[in-house]
Amino acid sequence: MPTFVDPNTCNACAGEHQGPLCVYICPNDLMVLDLEPNKGRNREPEMCSECYACVKLCPQEAIHVRGYADFVPLGATVQPHRVEDGLTWDVHFRDGREFSFTYPSRTRQAGTVNPYENFTEQRDADLRNQSLAGESLWLGVPDLPSVK
């Protein structure tokens, strides 16, 4: 199921911006402002890649989408909620169980992250070996064996 805008919840981001945020965030340019009811809508649902960008950004939580099978089984529903620490996902299973988990949001301003911060490898030497960037750090070993 591609994204679906709940018309009873959508207020077209009234008073916050110049139209719905989903219209501006959709990478496939599928979300539009439906002028008659003044609501956002997905004009080509079959083309939706289900990237969740509009779902995560909607301040009214009016956009719904199916969950990916790796964390939401068949018949369950999922809805993200923006919280101070990041994005909380609420999963509601068919049998009534509920599960929530939170992913932290970026804590540094975009463009200020040093991708090699705290890596144990030497950047110049890494260009001449077969290990992946940060591999020994993530594996918890001081050095990796190498092929001669």
Indicate the pTM of the whole model. Answer: 0.61
Show me where the domains of the chain are located. Answer: 1-65, 66-105, 109-148
Tokens of 9: 């919840």
Q: What is the pLDDT of residue 120?
A: 56
pLDDT in tens, 6-35: 989 999 888 666 778 899 899 999 999 888
Which runs of consecutive H residues, i.e. helices, occur in the chain? 21-25, 53-57, 123-126, 135-139
pLDDT in tens, 37-79: 888 889 998 898 888 888 888 888 998 877 777 767 777 888 8
CA atoms within 13 A on the CB side of 23: 15
CATH number for 1-65 (one of 1.10.10.10, 3.40.50.720, 3.30.70.20, 3.90.550.10): it is 3.30.70.20
